Structure 1
C-alpha cells in the first residue's frame, strides 16, 4: 500500500507540536506483496517496485496504474532518472536492469549489469550525469556504474563490513550508503 501525505505546513498550526500526525490524502493499492522502492517521476506520477515482481507507474490524478512491468524476481529498489527518463532496478537475482518505459518495440529491458555477488538492495541515479548510477548490496559493496559500460562497474566503493541496504546520490558531491555494520 502506498500513502501520499501533504507536507505543506498550515501557518495557523502551532509549531511547538511537532508530534502531530497527518492523514494521508491518497492511498494507492495494487501490489500483491510489499512495496520495496518508490521514486517520483513527475509532480503527478510515481514509480514503485515490489516483491511481487512488478514495477508500477502510478498517475496520482486518477489514483491508478498507467504502466505495469513484470520481472523474473522480486524487486528490492527502483530509481527513476529525471535526466534520461530511464529506470534502474535492484533485485533478488543479483542483476541490475535498465528499463525504458517509453519503449514500444522490442524489449523494454535495455541492458543488464552484472557485478554483485549477492542480492542488490538499493540503486540511485546521479542527479547531474544521465549515464551514472550507484548500487548497494548484500556483498558489502557499493558500486558506481556507467550505463554505457554494462560489463563491469567503474568503481567498487569498499568500506562496509556487512551488507549494504541503502545508497543515495541526491547530493552531486557525495555518494552516501548505509548497512548492517551500523
Structure 2
C-alpha cells in the first residue's frame, strides 16, 4: 500500500488503483463494530435490507412482523460511539401496514422520495417517503416472494415481481431490459422483457453436457430451490445460491457455468435469501448468509476469506454500503448488525513497505496486489 501511495504521489500511477486497493483493504478488515448500534425496532426476524444508492445514508428494513423501518446511518453526533436511529416506522398501527411478512424492500434507484415493498399478503406497495402513504398498491393472486427495480433503466419503470414459486429476481445492472429469475424448481432463467417469448435462456449447471448428467438434472442451475441471486456490479457475472448448499457463478452473456467451487454453503431457507457483492474491490467479494454467520468469498476463485460472527440466530439478509465499504446484516434474532472496516494502524515514517510482515496479509489481498503489479 505504501508503494501505491508513493507511486500516486509521484504521478506514476492511476488514482483509481489506489482507491481500489484501499477499498479492498477495508473489506478484508470488516469486523463487528462495538461502537455503532442500529436501533432495535422489529419484534420479529428481519428479512430484507436496502441502502439507497444516491447518498448511501438511509437504510430500509422489512420484517416478519410486516413492519418497515427507515434508518439514518450517518453519525450526526460526531462521537465515536453512536446509534443509527430510526427516522420512521410503518408499524402495526399504520393503516397501510402489510398484513404479513415483508420479504423485500427497495429504494427507487434514482431518488429517495420513493420506495417499494412486497409481502406475503400478496401485495406490492409503492410508498411516498415524505408522506409515508402508498402511492399505489398492486394486488396479486399468489404470494410475492421477491421484487426488484432496475438500477440502470432509463426507458422503463418496470418492477419485476414473481408469484408462487419464483423466489428471487434481479435486473441486470448492465442491460436495462435483461432480468434474471430463480425458482423453487431449481431453474434460473434470463429474460428480455422486450421479446414476446420473453425467456432468453435457462442456465444449465452442466453447460449442455447432458451425457454426464441425469435427465432430471438437465437444464437446472441447482439441485434444489434457487432462493438467491445477485449480479456483479459490472453485470458480467451472476451469482446464484440454492438449497442444494451450492453457490454458482455464471457468465451472464453466454449463460455458462464458470465452475468456480465455493464448497458447501449452508442454506436451509424456504424463502428468499438476500446476499451482497462488494463494489470497487480487486478481487470482488460475496457476503453470503451462512446459518447465524456471514461467509465472505472471493467471487472469482471461490476462496472462503473469512466468516463474520455476531448474530444469535439465522441471518436472512445483508447489504453492502459501497461508499464506505460497510456491511449491514439482518437476522431472525431481530437485530441489525453493522460490520465496519478496522481502523488502519499508523506506520512509522522510517518503516518501508518491504519490511512489513507480509505473512500477516490476507492471501486474497496479497494475490490482488503483488509486488509485480507495482512495477513498470
Bucket of the pairwise TM-score, normalised by the shorter protein: 0.7 to 0.9
> Are 1:140 and 2:292 matched, yes or no?
yes
Structure number having the greater helix percentage: 2
Which residue of 2 is the match for residue 60 of structure 1? 193
How far, CA to CA, are the matches of 2:327 and 2:194 in structure 1? 33
Structure 2 counterpart of 1:163:
314
Q: Which runs of 5+ in 2 are unaligned?
A: 1-107, 114-129, 140-156, 204-219, 335-376
What do the CA deviations read for 1:53-99 (whole angstroms, capped 9, x no partner)?
Answer: 11111212226111212222111100011326111111101111111
* More contact order relative to length (CA 8 Å, sep ≥ 6): 2
| Residue correspondence of structure 1 range 1-182 to structure 2 within 5 A | 18-22=133-137, 34-41=165-172, 42-62=175-195, 64-69=198-203, 70-71=220-221, 72-83=223-234, 85-103=236-254, 108-119=257-268, 121-129=273-281, 131-137=284-290, 139-150=291-302, 152-172=303-323, 173-182=325-334
Instruction: Tell me the distance in 2 between the aligned counterparts of 1:26 and 1:125.
Output: 23
Q: CA RMSD in A?
A: 3.2
TM-score normalised by the chain length of structure 2: 0.39
| CA distance in structure 2 between the aligned counterparts of 1:17 and 1:169, rounded to whole angstroms | 25
Instruction: Please give the TM-score of this superposition, normalised by the length of structure 1.
Output: 0.75
**Contact between 1:141 and 1:157, CA under 8 Å: does it hold in 2?**
yes
C-alpha spacing 1:154/1:26, structure 2 compared with 1 (3 Å): closer
Q: Structure 1: give runs of 5+ residues left out of the alignment.
A: 1-6, 10-14
The number of aligned residues is: 167
In 2, Cα distance between equivalents of 1:159 and 1:175: 13
Q: Alignment partner of 1:114: what SS?
A: coil
Rg larger in structure: 2
